[in-house]
Structure formats: C-alpha cells, structure tokens
Structure 1
C-alpha cells in the first residue's frame, strides 16, 4: 500500500523580517473550536487525509496484529480488574474508587465508617453507555455528605459538563452546567458550588457561584481572568475554611481567598501578580502557610502570614530556602505540616510539628524510587497517606501516624499474572554532557539481560514545564523488558529532577539543553554497553513528543525508532497563533515569537516541523487525537506530511490519529492498554524483536 501524500498548499508569512512557508497549513481546520465540540464538522478533505493515514498505518502494522493481541492480553493480565483505592475517611463516611471485573470505567463509592452497606454514588460505566468517548472528571461531595458534584467529558476535548446528584436517592438534580473544567468546590453551606468555565478559545477564564436548585442563568460571576496568558482555577484549603481562586501561568501566580462560611462575601487578594513570583496557599486558624519562590528562593521556601493581612510585607520565613532542596508540595493539618521535597534527584517526605517546629523524615532505601502524597479529606487527623514504588517494586500505599512514626501498609498493587521483583534490576546512572553536567538516568532490565551492547533500549523523556518523570513502577513496560529490552528514563533538563536550576537550564533560550541531554543519555548508555547506537527507541508524549521530533532531526543515526505521542512538533506556528488554547499561557515557557525576534529565532532553531531535512530518519510512529485541545491534531499530521516529503530511505513513517479522543488517548482502562500495546508492538518491530 502506498503512503498518503498530503497536497502542498503553501501559506507564507513574515515575522521579524524572516519569511516562512508552510506547505501543510491547510490541515489546521479553520473551525477547530467547533471541531473540539463536534468532531463531525471537520472539513471533508482533512478527514479524508487523516483516514488515509490511519489506513496506511493499519496496513503497515498488520504483521503485528497477533503480537498486539498478545501484548494486550499480558498487559491486561497484570491488572487486578476488580481493584479499588484505599478508602479515604471523611466524617461519617469513607470514600473510594473501584472497578468491577471487565469494566472500562470506575465506580465512585462510599461506606459508613462504623460499618454498613456500600453506596455506589457514580457508575461511570452506565454514564458511558452509547458514547464513543467518556472520561469522568471531578466527583466532589458536599460537606454535609448529601450531594455530589461530578463532571464528564464525552468528546476528549476536556470540555466538561457538570451535574449535581442527590447521593441518597441516586438521582441527578436539574442543575446542569456545560463548558466547565470539571468538578467544583463546595462552600460550607453544602448548597453553594464554585466552578470554572472555558471561553471560546478553550481557556479557563471565569469562576462562577451556583446555588443548587437555581437556574444556571442566575449564577454569579465571582472572578474573571482577563489576561489570556493566565489560566484560572478554583479549589480549597485542607481546612476547608477557604475557597481558593488561583490565576497562573508557568512562572507567575496570584491567589485570592473567599471565606467558605460566607460564600457571597468578597475575595481577598493575597499578593498581586509579579512576573516570576509563584506561590500556593494552605491554612490553619488565623495563619496562612505559603509555598513560594519569593526573595530569590529558587528552590522554594515556606512562609506564614496572618489571614487578616496576607500581603508580602507580612510574610515570615518558616521553612527557609535551602539551595538544591526543592520543595515540591505542602499540606497543612491541625497539628502538623507535611511537605514533599526532592534532593539529590530523589524525593522525600518531611513532617513538621507546628507547635514545636520539630521535623523528621520518612526514610526509604532503594537506589531510585517514586513518592506521592495521597492527600485526604480530613484536617484534624494524625495520619497521612503516601504511595511508594520503584521500577521493580509495585505501588504500595501507606498510612503513616505522625505521632508514633509508624506506617501501616494499606494496599500493595497486585499483579494477578505474577511479578518477581528479584528477577529485575533497577539502577541510577549519570550521563555526562558536553557542558559539564550529568544527567540522571533510571534504568530497568531483567537480571538475565546481557549488557554487551546487543539489547535494544527504550529511552523515555519529557523535559519541560519542570515536570519530573518519576522512577515508578509500570506494568506495561514489563512487556518490553521481558522481551530483552532495557528500559531507561532520562531525567533531562527542563524537568526539576535536580532542583529549579535544572528546569531553568532547559527552557526558553536554553531549550536546546533538553535535546542535547537526551542525546547524551543515549550515547552514554550505548558506550556503557546497555545498548548500541541505532538500537535505541525514543519515546515521549506531548512536550516529550517535541523532544522526539528534535532529537530525530539532530541525531537520527542514534535511534532505531521514535514513538511520538500527541507530539508538540509545530512549535513555531503554534506559538505564533494566539487564538490557540495554550499559546498565551505558554509564552513564559517557550518565549513569545510574536513580540520577540530573539524568541522567534530560538524557537525556529529547534522546532521539529521547521527543521525537517532531506536525510535518513529512523522509523517513526506519530500518534494524535482529533479533539486534543493541548496538542492539536494537525501538529503530528503536518509533521508526518513534511517528513514524508523530505526524508530519504525507506524507514517506516506512520501517523495514527484517534478520531474519537483527545490528548490522553482512549479513556477506558482497557482501551488505553490497546493503544499501549500498539506502540509497544512498533518498538518491538523496528528493533527486530517481533
């Protein structure tokens, strides 16, 4: 079957004296906002091209269909189908999520803490019936435990419809609010609900107050964000005393308080936005606890301020800034504060007694691991919940008593088909870079895998927004490792693995460090015998997909294959289009090529789509979602069209567009496994492991 060749319809534009021509701009639907809400209105010529690409990909991957089926079966066999979360207590009830055997979607349930029958508050499987796509959003119960605010997206466009359900009767009330970001925050009266709506360009921009039982037309605008570069959200403190209205982009934040006991009251600004100033807020009594990078605290510090006078002039250091120890998160309870930190590339949990100031850590032994704080509903408690895993150790959920310093294992991820951690090795190595840095790399392989350069290697990376890819457990990657692959995660600049500096050194004018770090990690792993050059399959999604496009341009000979999921590859055109949902909020991350000639040149220098050349590329699989509001479907479509025009040789070049999903792919847990099996089969095919 011949590959589709997209028509060339040149569109020329000039910026800062530089003229660029985009031959495939026509793949961007003029009515993209409408397509997000109703995919059926996509222009016929665009749909025909995407369908042709899907048909070609299916034909090229037909020889792996048996393998895909086998991979799906073994991946599914590692999932406990009738699984449930550890119930989270709140007053008279404990709330949980669970799955029934064979079900794609979860149940949201609760049980009385003193014993009694379970109540199924939401059966998402019933809600999903008859829908090609369904994803449950927030499900938040009211303080009096009588009502549940829940939301769902049935297009994949992250445009959620909000409902209110009477928990006891199981019936939905007449309250229906469309165009929200999902979920809501309840006031103390259990009848007032705050929610965030999207504008026509899919940006969260307004917070409204809704009184249950009243028409949506009567909802009151609480706050409107007029700067298109800022996203707006609503939440609450752990104490539940205050509603938080948060405006932010990638480097600046601004928070307002509303007394949850006075839902019609006025918002109180904590500190006005100041470019580069970030902060988040929690509360106890008359005191606010603020996590911030103020006053040059690059790796953040924690300060306190009086609720009555929360301005910066009243901020007092509680946990001072410690360079190299990044404070990731904090939660304040009645008698203590818990914070999650990262030092030396690894996370740790620190407990602070609020009365005495005494602190202690929760210790862990493995060389590389992942930690997560589980939150919880209750404020006056002595217990916290956290999760722990490593690349060999399945996820374990613990309850930890801060007074007795004892932990109780509440749940360990069960692998029904069996898993022997001792059959695997996890390591942390450091790859040197040309500019004198060292890149942490987390590695997983079977003990019987020969490290003589013969093994194929899957190298995963992201490297943007300060996001750290944890060295956590994954059941799906075992399908590669059990077939002789080495699996590695490159903790490259652009993430915060080695503190905020690591992030700053991989953004804007320093973005090229992200790509160079990934290539350095691959070269080092080949030199050390974990694999060989040309035996590496790169895998990344979203901004990690941009990474894949960049390294394919920069070092194609290093890779035996590239898997780019929802790849952000048309960086320059996207950052020049201020109507797109994420463009203005993303300028602090990438630069503003509309206003700045320097930013324009920087982005032009690495944007994968703009740097495709006439040369041999490794096999490439690009995956997109038609209703994706984050990385629009036309980015991978245009990239593949240009690659097909320019590339030399006969290496596979495949585009798969999910015509019924968005950024996260399929919403059902088993449908997602099928997508993972497809990509895994591609990795096995291009490395000769089929």
Structure 2
C-alpha cells in the first residue's frame, strides 16, 4: 500500500507574520518581510539556545509541529529505516591502531554506544587502555561532540576538546592518561578544538574564537596555569581570514595556517622552543595559495603560484622559504589537479584527480622514481589516512566505491606490498555484486561535460520509471567522492537510483572546474545540476517528477536555486542547513563566516556588481509566484555556519509566495548545530526523516500500520 501526500489531513501550515524591513544598497531598495526571525541576540543564542526570543521559538516550534503532522504517518517507516541502517553498522567497531613510538592509538565503539572511545595499546599488542570514553563524557548532555583528541609527545597526557551545544565553541581539557583524571586548572574555553603540543609536552598551542565566532588568535598554554595566564603568540588582523593550526609533517613545527578561499599564508613555530616567535614562510599574495610540509632543511610546498591552475609542488630551503626561492619539483600539468600531499622521511605522496577520479602517486625522494596506486572501478573514492610517524615506509590508505564498503590498507612505499588491515563489515549482509556503480556524462547548456556517479540495484529496469535521489554540492572547491554509504542502500533496495552530480564549483575535475562555478559564474553550478537531472532522464534511469534533489549547507543553496530555476524536474527537494539567504548574509559582516566568504561569493557591501550577481540567484530573494516541488528544509538552532533563520525565512517566503505544489516544510533541530544530531545512532533518525520524505515525495511511503 502507498499513500499520496494529497490524502493527508495535516495541521494548518504556520503563517509567519510579515514585518517589512526595507534597506537600500547601491541605490537598490529591497524589503525583507521576515528579517525578524533573526534574533538580535544571536551571538548569545549560540552559547545558550535557551535565550532565543520567545516569539521566534514559538514560530519554529509551530513549523516543527506542522512538519510532524505531515510526515508523522511515516513514523513506522522511519523506525524501519533506522533499524535497517543500524543493522548495517558494526556496533563494536574499531579503527586500525596507528603506531606512535611505544604505543598504537585507535578509536572504538562499544555495543550500543553513541560516541567513540579513544584507546591505546602497546605497539606490538597488549593491554588496551581507554583514554577517553565518549559515552561517559556525553552523559547529561543533550548534544555532545568530541573534536580533536591528541596525546602528548611523552605519551603521559591527552588534550581533548568537546562541544556541548552544537555551536562549535569547543572547550579544551587535559587528561592524565595513567590516572584517567582531567586537570581542574587546564581548562580552555571558546576554542576551535585544535591543539598542537610543544616538544617537551609541558605546553600546547590552540586557537581561540572571538565573540563573532571567528578563529583569529593563536595562544600558548603552559600546563598547570589558568587560561588567564596564556600567552598570545599570533593574531590575524584581517576579519576576512581564518586561522588554524596543525603539526608539521616531521613534528618539528606548529604550523599557523591562515587564509580565505583565494589566498593563504603560513607561519612556523619551532616546537622545541615553545616561546619562539612565529616565522613567516611566504608573505600573502592575493590569489596565491600554498601549504607546507617539512623535511630536514627543506620545505615542500603545494601551491598554485605562477599560474599553476591545478597546483604544483615546489621546494624551498627552510632557512629562506620566501617565494623567490621556490623551485619546481612536481611541475604544473593542466587537467591533473594535485589535491593534497603527505610527506615522509623518504617519500612524497600526492593525491591527484583527473576527470573526477582520484589516484595516489608515490615518489621516492632519493631516486626520484614514481609509481601510482590504482583501482579498477568506474567511480570510487581514494585517500590517505595520515600517520603519527614520519620516518616510515608504511602508508595507510582508504578505498571504497558506491558498491564496495571501505577498505583500509597499509602500503609499503618501498616494496609496494599492500596489506588489507580492515574491511568495513556490514553485519546485516552486503553483496557488492547485487549493485551496479557507473558513470554518465551530462552536457551543460554551455557544453561543459559534467560527470554523474550512479548507484543502483543490479536488477533495475532502466525504463524511466525508477525514483532517483540526486545529490549535489558544488562550492568551495570541495569534491564529492563516489564513496560507499551503507545508509543509501535503504533507498536503493526500495528501487531508488542514487546519483551524485559532480558539478562546477567543486574541484572534481580540477581547480578550473571550481573557478567556473563561483562568483559571477555561480549559476553554472545550478545549470550543471539541472543538466545532470535531464541526462539521467534521457538515459532512462528516471523521469520528470520522479527525482528528489538533496544537498546540505552550500549544497542547500544549490537546492534552493534549482527549486527556483528548474523545480519542474523534481518531485521533492531536501535542503539540509541550507545557505539560502545569500545576499542578506553576505551583507552582514558581523556573522561568523561572512568576511572570509566574500572571495567565494563576492562582497555586496563594496561591489555593486557583486550585489547584483548575488541578488540574481540568491534562493530567498528569487522565490517566485509559481509551482514548487515538495520541499523539506532542515536547520539547527545553534548552527554558527548557516544560521537557523536562513531556512526559516526561506520557507516562510515560499509558503507566502508560491502558487501551487509543495508542501514546504521546515524542521529545526532545537538542540543541535550544523552537523545535526550528535551520536552515531541519533544521526540515523535525521537520515530516516530525509529518506522517508524522499519516499513520500514519489508516492512510496508506506501506509501507517
């Protein structure tokens, strides 16, 4: 039995009051009827969601009740979906131990546990010591997320960071591994969660967030002293730049990495002298990006300098690392995007991407000889997993495809021997041969060739009747890997085709692919996604009104734009934490991400051209009196990245403006932020809502029991 949404008798849809707020920029006057949904006290709401304005809370709760009234009949289906997805999770799973000196460190879960435990064992095996128990730490918190857990160099302590609101304000603490006790003095508030230990293990560096949630300052903390005594070692003055830290490849330096979406600059602190002054690598030059790794008296630098569109790797002397001393090691090759690299004592490992497929290339730094690690599937995901150890020939890599569960290998870079260390176990069973992964190429209106990765059941009949979920992102140069997800099988096993559109704005086909989908070229991302939908229809995978679009964050903006521009193709749209109020957000330079985002979207405050470009596509500003597909928008009250009022305003304007179709639904998680619910099983509840909505949108939701 199936049930159409037309058969439901939901609550009346909430009507957000119109409280017009007019403003003029560059001589253009706009009126925002729903600006009131942004709490003027939003900074405090991030720290304490209970202080949200009562009128706003009442409206969000009414929207939640309305959504529940429409989707409530899928409750049994959602429970079934959660049970299926949970049955595919090995509940007592653990990662492959990563060696570091006398020990090996790993994560594991207990049966029924929501949060990981961080553990260690002697390097060659022996008694397991639990350093941190995430389930115990999460007790009493509605939301709990561990960020970085980093043991000290002498292996006696572990610094760990947790967020208990979803607002990404992390509190750092220091645990004595032998006693299992946290220091009462070494408590650091309002950090980004990262930490780098000094070589003597008596101090560490961290990044503090300012009152607008921006990471601008690097501080040094000495153990046994209060945060008030910490020393500021670096401060970024440009509010358009964010600052983060990490340990260098050899472990010799703390790297201060600053930048925006177009330019970067890095500084080094010698960890053997925690009081040392940061040393500049190369001064910032607009449009030039770089990242560094160190080996002896030499730096290895990944950069786009000198018009290296798809990046290259250069070397420079550590004593004189300025750009004038950079020398090509891996020259630029057009169409071969050097995505990332790892450096070891004897080898350079780079992750390359060509035509939306990744490869790993290993270079012997003594002989200069290179070889690649290859896999044979039509679409797959490949990456390195890092190492605590620098002087090693062992490289840990991960591989998966849309049909093949994740595999972890230790690869000897000298002998080229490959040892399988772990294969993702699907307790309920999974036979890759029962599924097909393939690719097609969609042609965009301007002729661009857009790869589309596809997963479906082997017995699928390609007669154009199958429902299809099409996922997209297309921003910030982020690639969408064709990796394995056990959750997706709950849709595919119900007859869905699952597809990923590798659209412009991502770097799936190189950095030029990214540049062709940003700022004044942003609409290419939307056109590519619609072209992907049409190509899937032409290839008889599906048909109009059988497609559900899905995206989150900047991918949620994609969903909003596509709903405005090509909504007729879709039965439903799911927009998670959607960045849909682009113009208003980019005009508000007090918001956490706005200044650093100007290189990505444009600065509508300073530039009339940027204002008009963003206004032309911003989903909220382009809602029209037309028919829309069913839409589910999902937000988080304490989200510092895409604030809760963006989806709330969007849904309010849609409901007041659209002339047919829908319905349009808003679900705000009142106790979480950008990443949704915390805990590996709680997150499944939100995935189940998305999938139940997708099934409902195409008429496949089950009749209530």
Secondary structure of the equivalent of 2:526? helix
Is 1:254 aligned to residue 265 of structure 2? yes
Listed as ranges, the matches of 1:282-681 within 5 Å are 282-681=293-692
Listed as ranges, the matches of 1:67-216 within 5 Å are 67-173=77-183, 174-216=185-227
Question: Distance between the aligned counterparts of 1:206 and 1:332, measured in 2?
Answer: 27
Is 1:62 aligned to residue 72 of structure 2? yes
Question: Distance between the aligned counterparts of 2:310 and 2:207, measured in 1?
Answer: 30
Is 1:48 aligned to residue 53 of structure 2? no
Question: Distance between the aligned counterparts of 2:124 and 2:307, measured in 1?
Answer: 50
Does the 8 Å contact 2:194/2:245 carry over to 1? no
1:372 CA drift (Å): 1.4
Question: Distance between the aligned counterparts of 1:159 and 1:506, measured in 2?
Answer: 31
Question: Distance between the aligned counterparts of 1:201 and 1:651, measured in 2?
Answer: 36
Does the 8 Å contact 1:139/1:149 carry over to 2? yes
Question: Distance between the aligned counterparts of 1:338 and 1:280, measured in 2?
Answer: 14
Residue 240 of structure 2: which of 215, 223, 229 is its match? Answer: 229
Question: Distance between the aligned counterparts of 2:144 and 2:295, measured in 1?
Answer: 38
Does the 8 Å contact 1:560/1:618 carry over to 2? yes
TM-score, length-normalised on structure 1? 1.00
Listed as ranges, the matches of 1:4-19 within 5 Å are 4-19=14-29
1:114 CA drift (Å): 3.0
1:116 CA drift (Å): 2.0
Superposed CA deviations along residues 131-182 of structure 1, whole A, max 9, x for unmatched, are 1000001100111101100000000000000001111111001200000000
Question: Distance between the aligned counterparts of 1:39 and 1:596, measured in 2?
Answer: 35
Question: Distance between the aligned counterparts of 2:574 and 2:355, measured in 1?
Answer: 30
Superposed CA deviations along residues 375-395 of structure 1, whole A, max 9, x for unmatched, are 010001010001000000000
Does the 8 Å contact 1:149/1:183 carry over to 2? no
Is 1:27 aligned to residue 37 of structure 2? yes
Secondary structure of the equivalent of 2:627? coil
Superposed CA deviations along residues 52-110 of structure 1, whole A, max 9, x for unmatched, are 00011011111100000000000000000000011000000000010001010110000
Secondary structure of the equivalent of 2:700? coil
2:7 corresponds to = none
1:28 CA drift (Å): 0.3
2:8 corresponds to = none
Question: Distance between the aligned counterparts of 1:184 and 1:541, measured in 2?
Answer: 28
Question: Distance between the aligned counterparts of 1:231 and 1:678, measured in 2?
Answer: 34
Superposed CA deviations along residues 503-543 of structure 1, whole A, max 9, x for unmatched, are 00000000000000000000111111000011110000000
Question: Distance between the aligned counterparts of 2:661 and 2:275, measured in 1?
Answer: 65
Secondary structure of the equivalent of 2:541? coil
Secondary structure of the equivalent of 1:592? coil
Deviating runs (4+, > 2 A) in structure 1? none
TM-score, length-normalised on structure 2? 0.97
Q: Which runs of 5 or more structure 1 residues have no equivalent in the other structure?
A: none
1:649 CA drift (Å): 2.2
Superposed CA deviations along residues 295-341 of structure 1, whole A, max 9, x for unmatched, are 00010010111111110111111111111000111111111111111
Secondary structure of the equivalent of 2:126? coil
Question: Distance between the aligned counterparts of 1:86 and 1:170, measured in 2?
Answer: 23
Q: RMSD of the alignment, in Å?
A: 0.6
Secondary structure of the equivalent of 2:628? coil
Question: Distance between the aligned counterparts of 1:141 and 1:387, measured in 2?
Answer: 23
Superposed CA deviations along residues 419-460 of structure 1, whole A, max 9, x for unmatched, are 010011111110011111110000000011111110011000
Superposed CA deviations along residues 27-66 of structure 1, whole A, max 9, x for unmatched, are 0000000000000100000000000000110111111000
Secondary structure of the equivalent of 2:167? coil
Question: Distance between the aligned counterparts of 1:115 and 1:668, measured in 2?
Answer: 29
Secondary structure of the equivalent of 2:634? strand
Question: Distance between the aligned counterparts of 1:665 and 1:266, measured in 2?
Answer: 39
1:183 CA drift (Å): 3.0
Question: Distance between the aligned counterparts of 2:28 and 2:462, measured in 1?
Answer: 49
Question: Distance between the aligned counterparts of 1:42 and 1:571, measured in 2?
Answer: 23
Question: Distance between the aligned counterparts of 1:114 and 1:159, measured in 2?
Answer: 37
Question: Distance between the aligned counterparts of 1:115 and 1:279, measured in 2?
Answer: 40
1:115 CA drift (Å): 2.9
Question: Distance between the aligned counterparts of 2:243 and 2:607, measured in 1?
Answer: 26
Superposed CA deviations along residues 569-604 of structure 1, whole A, max 9, x for unmatched, are 000000000000000000000000000000000000
2:5 corresponds to = none
Superposed CA deviations along residues 223-271 of structure 1, whole A, max 9, x for unmatched, are 0011100001111112101110111111110000111111111111011
Superposed CA deviations along residues 271-292 of structure 1, whole A, max 9, x for unmatched, are 1111111000000100011000
Question: Distance between the aligned counterparts of 2:464 and 2:126, measured in 1?
Answer: 59
Question: Distance between the aligned counterparts of 1:73 and 1:137, measured in 2?
Answer: 27
Secondary structure of the equivalent of 2:584? helix
Question: Distance between the aligned counterparts of 2:91 and 2:126, measured in 1?
Answer: 24
Superposed CA deviations along residues 533-558 of structure 1, whole A, max 9, x for unmatched, are 11110000000000000000001110
Secondary structure of the equivalent of 1:68? helix
Question: Distance between the aligned counterparts of 1:218 and 1:65, measured in 2?
Answer: 53
1:273 corresponds to = 284
Question: Distance between the aligned counterparts of 2:622 and 2:107, measured in 1?
Answer: 46
Secondary structure of the equivalent of 1:53? helix
Does the 8 Å contact 2:505/2:515 carry over to 1? yes
1:664 CA drift (Å): 0.2
1:650 CA drift (Å): 4.7
